Amino acid sequence: MKQILQNMGSGETSLVTAPSPQAKSGNLLIHTTTSLISAGTERMLVEFGQANFLQKARKQPDKVKMVLDKVKTDGLVTTIDAVKSKLDQPLPLGYCNVGLVAEVGAGISGFKQGDRVISNGPHADVVRVPKNLCAKIPDNVTNEEASFTVLGSIGLQGLRLAEPTLGECFVVTGVGLIGLMTVQLLIANGCRVLAIDYDQSKLDLAKQFGANICNLGKGEDPISAGMAFSRGNGVDGVIITASTSSNDPVAQAAKMSRKRGRIVLVGVVGLALSRADFYEKELSFQVSCSYGPGRYESSYEDKGNDYPIGFVRWSEQRNFEAILDMLASGKLDVKALISHRYSFDDALEGYATLTNDKSALGIILQYPEVSIESLSCNDLELTPYVASSASDAVVGFVGAGNYASRVLIPAFKEAGAKLHTLSTSGGINSVVHGAKNEFHKASTDTDAMLKNPEINTVAVVTQHNSHAYFVTQALNEGKNVFVEKPIAINLEQLEQVKQAYNQQLEAGKNARVMVGFNRRFAPQIQKMKALLSSISEPKSFIMTMNAGDIPSDHWTQNVETGGGRIIGEACHFIDLMRFLAGSKIVSVQARRMGDTNAVAITEDKAAIILGFADGSFGTIHYFANGAASFPKERVEVFVAGKVLQLDNFRKLTGYGWKGFSKMNLWQQDKGQKACAKAFLDTISQGEPAPISAEEIFEVAKVTIDIAEQLRSQQ
């Protein structure tokens, strides 16, 4: 397949060839026929990508503060690497897609192969979209008309929040694509409309649709125009669909509104509000969220759970359907909004038009008619395959998200791995990061990759709930396995992995299973281990994790998907304490903060006490309620009248140690490279994995037990 991507670091817009996405439960696989470039949103993204670092910083002052905080705790070099990596992540452009259903995922009703549908899929000739973000197109609506559906629903949601009634007078500020459709929807709703903009050609279209107009570019006063339009009473409502950093649209909306008027922001504008304007008139101001109820809700969008129509009349999907009905009835005219057409292969010319011609409106991309088979390729060769020796680690990666692409894949490459296949569910990350790191193949067919006899090692870097499945499958195929923590998120999954591992041992195979517990391989931790190895007395540990707050609905917090933050993140420090103690864990106590359901679900403010067979013990403080400017990780060891203190894997200080006082690093090193190298070296040298399977399974079970303790507390 081909897809349009934006690099936010270099500013390059590119048309990339990639493996086609695989069908997925709850999703439709769609072969695109038409898509619409969103002139407002996509122009903003492209221009942001083309801006220099200083300009980017000025546009995102909140992000600048986060970067400065990270510099203080993690160091300049680590922060620069993280920022550059974030900007280099490919951003798919587009969200106004029309196509034919090629495959219906499991658990979906109401759609069938061959249906003509709209979706919020990106600009690509094959897209995979959750069912609630798709809608069937009426027969009398053309593909080009239907491509405006998603944009129209953005305006429709703003209109629903404004609650216009027949006979009211409304202002639409900013008449780009969304604004012009909002004008028509208000008129269809029985309202009188005043359109405000700087562009006369767009205002002419608004006038053509039945609106009065006010041209700011000619110096016309919007407040006077609004008062005159409302017969001196003030307008009933203002819907702002403009995109500008100026505060003027909101200030003008307040001044032209009647008492208790309604202002709804659909676009992006400055928000320095005047309290006096809003106070004296008791104005209401609301920001509209995209397509409507369900947007950004995982349960609705990802899991396909719809809202009962009796309680939520207009969800995202039902807003899509409403726009399609308006198109079918002829009450919404979008033909006049089409300013340019390009073939999909010439899409980059369309983006040049977008950035160079500010008057451009609806830019349509037309996709060639091709066979299903030609679009369904799940493998793409990136570099020629070089034969390997029996001692080489020939690696297939499953997953290429931020951590895999930024840290783990480069670490494997630097350690000498032969990178064979990078497999991802969607395909784009596999080709972008596969090409960057010189993989032989990019793929979306993970099952085929696991069975490939050329590959002897598999690295699993996917969502946590899939780790155990991929580890088990790889072990069953006789592969060495490296899995980013955790190895399992419940005891049932852990048992499946153990059985697969034991079956390999019983078959006489040198099975290796390794979890990415990189912190034990960090140079300062290795130094601590060497110092502690000379002391036979029990040790006391204090590990403080200033983890930072993340939303309770983030996938890592979900027990079924991410396993929660104890299983997904605190496992690092349970393993680290196990490593430094050098003794088996024999007791576990855990306590979380508070008794509310929200705290019980998130589990991210807790204290964990571990007891060890040699008499050592330690406490892990895992806190999500600290300041970002405080060091993220601190490790302290008290033993035999001596203390070791490690701050954020940069500064190690010794107290009372003969011949050792400190070991400081120029940049943070959490051991990721050393961890990958240690694993790969055992393969080339025919040795057991760097961490024994018994220890890995022990830490996994203890971690799951701790999470269960925290969840069961009252």
Q: What number of other Cβ atoms are within 10 A of residue 310's Cβ?
A: 6
User: Closest Cα partner for 283 from 304, 253, 309?
Assistant: 253
- Residues 615-631 as b/e (b if ≥16 CB within 10 A, e otherwise) read ebbbbbbbbbebeeeeb
User: pLDDT > 70: what percent of the chain?
Assistant: 93
Q: What number of other Cβ atoms are within 10 A of residue 599's Cβ?
A: 18
CB-based contacts of 670: which residues, under 8 Å, 6+ apart? 518, 519, 522, 649
Give SS3 for 641.
Answer: coil
> Does pLDDT of 602 surpass 80?
no
Give 53's pLDDT tier (boundaries 50, 70, 90): low
What's the pLDDT tens digit per position in 326-351?
Answer: 999 999 999 999 999 999 999 999 99
Q: How many helices (H) and strands (E) in the chain?
A: 27, 31
* Superfamily name and number for 2-148+334-368: Medium-chain alcohol dehydrogenases, catalytic domain (3.90.180.10)
Measured between alpha carbons, how far is 316 from 153 in angstroms, rounded to an integer?
8
3-class SS shares of the chain: helix, strand, coil, % to 5: 40, 25, 35
Pairing assessment for the beta strands 540-546 and 633-639 based on DSSP bridges: antiparallel
Take residue 426 and report the two structure tokens written for it. 């969607």
Range 379-510: architecture per CATH:
3-Layer(aba) Sandwich (3.40)
Give 41's pLDDT tier (boundaries 50, 70, 90): confident
Query: Would 2-148+334-368 and 151-287 be classified into the same CATH topology?
Result: no
User: In this predicted model, which residue has the larger pLDDT, 378 or 301?
Assistant: 301
What's the pLDDT tens digit per position in 621-653?
Answer: 999 999 888 889 999 999 999 999 999 999 999
How large is the average pLDDT for residues 6-21?
A: 89
> Does pLDDT of 231 surpass 90?
yes
How large is the average pLDDT for residues 663-689?
A: 95
User: Closest Cα partner for 652 from 643, 514, 164, 12?
Assistant: 643
How large is the average pLDDT for residues 62-72?
A: 67
Q: What is the pLDDT of residue 600?
A: 44
Domain boundaries along the sequence of the chain: 2-148+334-368, 151-287, 379-510, 518-712
> Does pLDDT of 76 surpass 80?
no
User: In this predicted model, which residue has the larger pLDDT, 360 or 390?
Assistant: 360
Query: Which strands sit side by side in the sheet containing 633-639, from one edge to the other?
Result: 585-592, 605-612, 617-623, 540-546, 633-639, 642-647, 651-655, 662-664
Give SS3 for 399.
Answer: coil
Q: What number of other Cβ atoms are within 10 A of residue 522's Cβ?
A: 24
Q: What is the pLDDT of residue 702?
A: 98
How large is the average pLDDT for residues 228-253?
A: 95
Q: What is the pLDDT of residue 372?
A: 62
Q: Which residues pair with 422 in a beta bridge?
A: 397, 442
**CATH class of segment(s) 518-712:** alpha beta
How large is the average pLDDT for residues 594-602?
A: 56
> Does pLDDT of 23 surpass 90?
no
Measured between alpha carbons, how far is 127 from 122 in angstroms, rounded to an integer?
7
What's the pLDDT tens digit per position in 259-297?
Answer: 999 999 999 999 988 899 899 999 999 999 999 999 999
> Does pLDDT of 374 surpass 70?
no
Give SS3 for 42.
Answer: helix
What's the pLDDT tens digit per position in 561-578?
Answer: 999 999 999 999 999 999
Q: Which residues pair with 135 in a beta bridge?
A: 118
Give SS3 for 585.
Answer: strand
- Lowest-confidence region among 55-69, 264-278, 364-378, 469-483: 55-69
Q: What is the pLDDT of residue 9?
A: 80
Q: What is the pLDDT of residue 94?
A: 95
* Superfamily name and number for 151-287: NAD(P)-binding Rossmann-like Domain (3.40.50.720)
Q: Among positive and negative, which fits the CA dihedral 414, 418, 423, 428? A: positive
Q: How far is CA 132 from the centre of its chain?
A: 19
Q: What is the pLDDT of residue 599?
A: 43
> Does pLDDT of 98 surpass 80?
yes
Q: What is the pLDDT of residue 714?
A: 61
What's the pLDDT tens digit per position in 112-126?
Answer: 999 999 999 999 999
Residue with tokens 């960090």: 522
Measured between alpha carbons, how far is 188 from 211 in angstroms, rounded to an integer?
11
User: In this predicted model, which residue has the larger pLDDT, 255 or 556?
Assistant: 255
> Does pLDDT of 601 surpass 70?
no
User: pLDDT > 90: what percent of the chain?
Assistant: 78
Average pLDDT, the chain: 92
Q: What is the pLDDT of residue 603?
A: 83
> Does pLDDT of 655 surpass 70?
yes
